[in-house]
């Protein structure tokens, strides 16, 4: 299986490393060449320096021949545009897009985009933990 990961920050680099460890052929894309360091010294996948909205960069990353893509830059708008580009222009069957804004994530999810919203995940985790803690204190 082949994947491209657009955005090699904390999230993107960890996803890329996990996929590579599971035997995927992974290429990471980031504007900042220093982001390669996040992949670690044993990184054997590809790395392309450039902006994920640049089709020349995407083509150097091999997007026309991947099974999946993860879009995890630091901007929701950028992620949406890149995700749509990968789905519509390149026909990538599985595109996952990180969106930090829960309302925006719900909006695009309702329109068929596969989104991951860490903010929504954090809200749920905090709420669940607080309820559990409150019940435990009340019971004791």
- The total domain count for the chain is 1
pLDDT at 135: 87
pLDDT at 137: 83
Q: Is residue 17 part of a domain?
A: yes
pLDDT at 37: 93
Integer Cα distance of 71 and 48 in angstroms: 14
3, 26 contact by CB (below 8 A)? yes
Q: Token match 């450039």: residue?
A: 50
Rounded to the nearest 5 degrees, what angle is found at the Cα of 30, between the Cα atoms of 52 and 122? Answer: 90
* This prediction's pTM: 0.91
Percent share of the chain, pLDDT over 90: 94
Q: Is residue 13 part of a domain?
A: yes
Integer Cα distance of 31 and 9 in angstroms: 11
- Among 17-26, 27-36, 86-95, 129-138, name the one with the lowest average pLDDT: 129-138
Where in the sequence is the domain holding 28, given as residue range(s)? 2-98
pLDDT at 138: 84
E strands in 1-140: 2-6, 25-30, 46-49, 68-71, 94-98, 114-116
φ, ψ of residue 29 to 5 degrees: the values are -125, 130
Percent share of the chain, pLDDT over 70: 100
Q: Is residue 110 part of a domain?
A: no
pLDDT at 124 over 90: yes
Tens digits of per-residue pLDDT, 65-84? 999 999 999 999 999 999 99
pLDDT at 134: 84
CATH number for the domain including 77? 3.40.50.720
Q: List the one residue out of 73, 66, 34, 38 whose CA is nearest residue 52.
A: 73
Alpha carbons within 13 angstroms on the beta-carbon side of residue 18 total 9
């Amino acid at each position: 299986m082949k994947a491209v990961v657009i955005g090699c920050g904390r999230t993107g680099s960890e996803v890329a490393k996990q996929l590579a460890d599971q035997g995927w052929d992974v290429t990471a894309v980031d504007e900042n060449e220093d982001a390669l360091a996040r992949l670690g010294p044993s990184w054997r996948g590809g790395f392309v320096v450039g902006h994920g909205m640049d089709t020349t960069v995407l083509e150097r990353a091999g997007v026309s021949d991947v099974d999946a893509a993860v879009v995890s830059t630091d901007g929701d708008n950028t992620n949406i545009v890149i995700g749509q580009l990968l789905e519509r222009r390149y026909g990538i069957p599985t595109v996952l897009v990180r969106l930090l804004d829960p309302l925006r994530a719900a909006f695009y999810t309702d329109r068929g985009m596969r989104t991951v919203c860490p903010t929504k995940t954090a809200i749920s985790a905090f709420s669940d933990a607080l309820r559990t803690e409150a019940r435990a204190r009340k019971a004791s």
